[in-house]
Amino acid sequence: MGNFVFLFLACILAGFALINLPLAGSALAAIQPITSLIGILAILVFSLVLIFKGIIALVDK
C-alpha cells in the first residue's frame, strides 16, 4: 500500500484543482457548487487516509 501514497497526494491536488476551477461565465457555471463539494470531499478523504497510513506506520515500528 506504500506505493499508493503518491496517488493519494495526486488526488488531494486534484481536489484543490476542482475547488479552484473557474467556471464562471461558462455553460458549466451551474455545477460550480458540485465541483467544489467533490473537491472538498476528495481533500478530506485522502488527507484522512494519509494520516491513518502515517499513524499505522508509526505504530508498526
**In the predicted model, what is the mean pLDDT of residues 9-27?**
93
Give me the pLDDT at residue 1, please: 59
pTM of the model: 0.85
CB 16 within 8 A of CB 39: yes
**Percent with pLDDT over 70 in the chain:** 97
Give me the pLDDT at residue 3, please: 75
Give me the pLDDT at residue 61, please: 76
Tell me how far CA of residue 58 lies from CA of 2, 4, 28, 52, 55, in angstroms. Answer: 13, 17, 44, 10, 5
What are 21-42's pLDDT values in tens digits? Answer: 998 889 989 999 999 999 999 9
